[in-house]
Amino acid sequence: MERYLGAFEHLYWLYNQFYPIDFVTVAKLQGQFSSEQLSTVLRQVQQHHPLLRVRITSL
């Protein structure tokens, strides 16, 4: 879904161009689990950390 950014979102996007806060997390998982279990856990983490739910892309 594409949409125009609101004023605050646009300001945040501009700020991020000079001071990015992008990051990557790498984890080594052991044991057996399904992809559904992994998706559920990742959604729970996103609910507790709002910035993990944000994604702004430029067109």
Q: What is the per-residue pLDDT for 15?
A: 86
- Coil/strand/helix, residue 23: coil
Cα(53)–Cα(50) distance, integer angstroms: 5
Q: What is the per-residue pLDDT for 37?
A: 92
Cα(48)–Cα(10) distance, integer angstroms: 24
Structure tokens at 19: 């001071």
Q: What is the per-residue pLDDT for 59?
A: 56
Q: What is the per-residue pLDDT for 11?
A: 87
Report pTM: 0.47
pLDDT digits (tens, 9 = 90+) for 2-54: 778 889 888 888 888 888 777 677 778 889 989 899 889 888 888 887 777 77
Locate the domains of the chain by residue range.
25-59
Q: What is the per-residue pLDDT for 46?
A: 84
